[in-house]
Amino acid sequence: MKEEKLIQPVEVKIVEKRSILFVASEANPFVGTGGLADVIGSLPKALAKNKDLDIRVVLPLYSDIDGAYRANFRFEGNFNVPLGWRNQYCGLFSLKYEGVTFYFVDNEYYFKRKGLYGYYDDGERFAFFSKAALEMLSYLDYYPDVLHAHDWQTALSVIYLKVLFADRYGYSKIKALFTIHNIEYQGKYGHELLGDLFGLPDYAKNILDYDGCINLMKGAIQLAERFSTVSPRYASEIKNPYFAHGLEYMTSQNEYKLCGILNGIDEKTYDPSTDDKLFARYDAKDMSGKAVCKAELQKMLALPERAEVPVIAIISRLVGHKGLDLIKCVFEDILNEDVQVVILGKGEREYEDYFRFMAERYSGKCRAIIAYNKDLACKIYSGSDIFLMPSKQEPCGLSQMIACRYGSVPVVRETGGLADSITPFNDENRKGGNGFTFANYNAHEMLYVLKDAIYTFGDKKVWEKLVSRAMKTDFSWKKSAEEYKKLYSDMCSAL
Ligand code: GLC
């Protein structure tokens, strides 16, 4: 009898990768002006560790992007981007970097300029970028499951996707997630720009209209399947007029699709045991390097080299919502203590001038460096003992997390991400926590808590434990990246 050959069926599992495209206006290490760049530089990388996720990011190709990165770019091609009556050139480059594919949108008319923002035609520049990010998809024949846009600069990518591209092949299934990093900047324009500049049909006016003008953030909130903020506390705060900068009706009405996910930081970048920008390396087990960092910082800034005096650091954009008015109100009281204060940052003239003036007046104990300087920032985080961040509003805030990593104990106001990341040592038990917190936007409440930190610094045993807890707090992306993954998957499985 003929033997029957049995063919065993082989089970082939096809694991389809879920694909996410980040659309953003800045990302470290390529180009950045603040916290958004940190997030776009680190969250995609953390997500890309999941084998079942395909993570890509698209950015404008600003002239500030270093030649060293450009040298490794791959030219993907070029196409035209229609924008109102315009038809603009768009070159497309790509770079695989730390597991993530980055695309760079090239147009020298829009992006061959110094800096990132602040031009009269920013609306047009980011409209072009948002449109190009979508045109790019059919050019590459790559249609992500989720388009994840960030802040007002890329709100139009969500609006275009839903208004202009919804019927085009490949685009109809793409879900949109819009993340608000700061609700203060919404992208507001006159109605006359709807068709002429943004190239949107008349019926889109209803979607974008808010408070007598076109509001791009409002449009994205309305049209995205989901929207999010960078901390749970801020997600609940932006329903409140005090925080919402006029958008409270929108955020409340769309509450059902809102969630808050706390940012993490890249723990490899911000690690005092490996950071070669520091004067010395250290970790929670061996803190001798931190003493060197402090002494060297004092020397560099020509401050008296005293280990026993607490160094208070303020590293911040010098703008109103960072709570600088509280500091101004009681700054002399702070400086009358036996402390040293170091300020690093730039921003509004009023604050720059004020801190310069005070640094001259209190030249034996105060220094103000009016600049944005990442290397110096790390030296100050590591050389300081207390980190003051009394923000009026803070969607997430990364500096308080970085300060913890470098053993500089944060003193923060309980708002947004500050409330979600810093737990108070100054509660009734005085045993746990990773910092000092106060609730009200009140200068003397801040002063009271800051003085508590200054005096606690004098109690070496208690202080060392507090510093160690701060340094060991888990600020990695692990948990939050999981939350994003779940959010993407919920969005994709929803009808
Ligand atoms: C914005 C917010 C800041 C947040 C950052 C990253 O800069 O003001 O609080 O940490 O975005 O999400």
Is residue 277 a part of any domain in this protein? no
Q: Is 182 in the pocket of ligand 1 (CB under 6 A)?
A: yes
Residue among 181, 319, 322, 477 whose CB has most ligand 1 atoms within 8 A, to mutate: 181
Is residue 8 a part of any domain in this protein? no
- Same domain for 124 and 72, yes or no, is yes
- Taken in order 61, 67, 71, 72, the sign of the CA dihedral is negative
Closest Cα partner for 215 from 183, 243, 173? 183
Tell me what the pLDDT averaged over the chain comes to: 96
Which residue is it, tokens 């609730």?
439
Range of the domain at 426: 288-472
> Could you give the CA distance from residue 131 to residue 345 in angstroms, rounded to a whole number?
34
Whose C-alpha lies nearest to ligand 1, atom 5?
35
pLDDT tens figures, 387-419 = 999 999 999 999 999 999 999 999 999 999 999
Where residue 494 falls among pLDDT bands split at 50, 70, 90?
confident
Is residue 224 a part of any domain in this protein? yes
pLDDT tens figures, 197-241 = 999 999 999 999 999 999 999 999 999 999 999 999 999 999 999
Whose C-alpha lies nearest to ligand 1, atom 1?
181
- Same domain for 430 and 483, yes or no, is no
- Same domain for 488 and 457, yes or no, is no
Percentage of the chain lying above the pLDDT 70 cut: 97
Which residue is it, tokens 């801040």?
446
Is residue 367 within 8 A of residue 335, CB to CB? The reply is: no
Read off φ and ψ for residue 15, nearest 5 degrees. Answer: -95, 110
Give Dmax over CA atoms of the chain in angstroms: 106
Q: How many CB atoms lie within 10 A of CB 293?
A: 27
What pairing do the DSSP bridges indicate for beta strands 366-369 and 340-344? parallel
Q: What is the pTM of this model?
A: 0.94
Is residue 275 a part of any domain in this protein? no
- Same domain for 228 and 308, yes or no, is no
pLDDT tens figures, 311-332 = 999 999 999 999 999 999 999 9
Is residue 13 a part of any domain in this protein? no
Describe the crossing of helices 349-361 and 324-335 by its angle, rounded to 10 degrees: 0
- Same domain for 254 and 379, yes or no, is no
pLDDT tens figures, 38-78 = 999 999 999 999 999 999 999 999 999 999 999 999 999 99
Atom of ligand 1 nearest to the CA of 34: 7
Amino acid at 113: R
Q: Is 32 in the pocket of ligand 1 (CB under 6 A)?
A: no
- Same domain for 112 and 227, yes or no, is yes
Is residue 382 a part of any domain in this protein? yes
- Same domain for 187 and 325, yes or no, is no
Query: For residue 97, what are its two tokens?
Result: 């970097």
How many structural domains does the chain have?
2
pLDDT of residue 495: 66
pLDDT of residue 410: 98
Is residue 75 a part of any domain in this protein? yes
* Residue 250, C-beta contacts closer than 8 angstroms, at least 6 positions apart: 210, 218, 221, 222
Q: Is 187 in the pocket of ligand 1 (CB under 6 A)?
A: no
Q: How far is the CA of 397 from the centre of ligand 1 (A)?
A: 5
Q: Is 398 in the pocket of ligand 1 (CB under 6 A)?
A: yes
- Same domain for 323 and 461, yes or no, is yes
Is residue 95 a part of any domain in this protein? yes
Query: For residue 355, what are its two tokens?
Result: 């801190």
Read off φ and ψ for residue 105, nearest 5 degrees. Answer: -95, 120
pLDDT of residue 16: 76
- Same domain for 486 and 455, yes or no, is no
Q: 3-class SS at 329?
A: helix
Question: b or e along 416-428 (b: 16 or more beta carbons within 10 Å of the residue's beta carbon)?
Answer: bbbbbbbebbbee
Instruction: Locate all alpha helices (DSSP H) within 241-343, ordered by sequence.
Output: 241-244, 248-253, 288-300, 324-335
- Same domain for 386 and 488, yes or no, is no
> Could you give the CA distance from residue 130 to residue 220 in angstroms, rounded to a whole number?
12
Q: Is 275 in the pocket of ligand 1 (CB under 6 A)?
A: no
pLDDT tens figures, 271-302 = 999 999 999 999 999 999 999 999 999 999 99
Where residue 5 falls among pLDDT bands split at 50, 70, 90?
low
- Same domain for 485 and 453, yes or no, is no
pLDDT of residue 6: 61
Which residue is it, tokens 């090239």?
106
Q: Is 34 in the pocket of ligand 1 (CB under 6 A)?
A: yes
pLDDT of residue 2: 54
Whose C-alpha lies nearest to ligand 1, atom 7?
35
User: Can you give the CATH number for the domain in which 242 is found?
Assistant: 3.40.50.2000
Does residue 11 carry a pLDDT above 80? no
